[in-house]
Amino acid sequence: SFLHRSSRVKSPQLILATIVVSASSPLSSVPSTAESFPIIGGGQRRQQGTFGFVHRNVHLPSRKFKPLASSSSDDATGEGGSDRSVTGPIYELDSGVPIVKLFTKEGCTLCDKVKDVLQSVREDTPHSLYAVDITDDDKQEWFSKYKYDIPVLHINDIYWTKHRLTAEDAISGIAEACAGNFVTQQGEPDASRFEHN
């Protein structure tokens, strides 16, 4: 290869360089790419259409993607993963207090907020709190009803509320249950009514 400089260049501020690769070069069979860029001399005003071209033989490797890592044995068995059941008592008090059931599943952040509200009022309004994981195999009935609306709350197995809970509503509802005046509230979700077989 050789460097050919145009003899018509009168100013050292503008150089047009072309790298020419001979046909006998081993790189001649490699696909080439061309880049163009303006060559501007120091202090010289840019003129439209004044460009120099450099042709380079460049070999671009193909992009390779790493395969996704396979699931760990813990994930496959449900240990420490999203398949873990959260059914069970969250806290229990002596018998005779209202029993609140929180219909939930692993990773439900809104459910965590409702749980925090209930925990914040349990000293003034005693109650027990149990979690019911609607994704358990034996909870298909609850899953079909509540899968789009958790968290859902029951007091003493009576529907109470869904989605969110304020401290005031928690105190009021539990107090009514203690007095034996709690009744089913309106708006209980049931997704199965809107699904077609």
Highest mean pLDDT among 31-35, 65-69, 186-190: 186-190
Average pLDDT over the chain reads 74
What's the CA angle centered on 46, arms 41 and 32, to 5 degrees? 75
Residue 42 has pLDDT above 60, yes or no: no
Are the C-beta atoms of 190 and 114 separated by less than 8 Å? no
Q: What is the pTM of this model?
A: 0.59
Q: What's the pLDDT score for residue 194?
A: 85
- Which single residue is written with the structure tokens 């020419």? 20
Comparing 73-77, 106-110, 167-171, the range with the smallest average pLDDT is 73-77
CA atoms of 118 and 150, how far apart (whole Å): 16
Residue 140 · residue 186 · CB < 8 Å: no
| Positive or negative: CA dihedral 178, 182, 184, 186 | negative
pLDDT at 197: 54
Higher pLDDT among residues 111 and 43, named by residue: 111
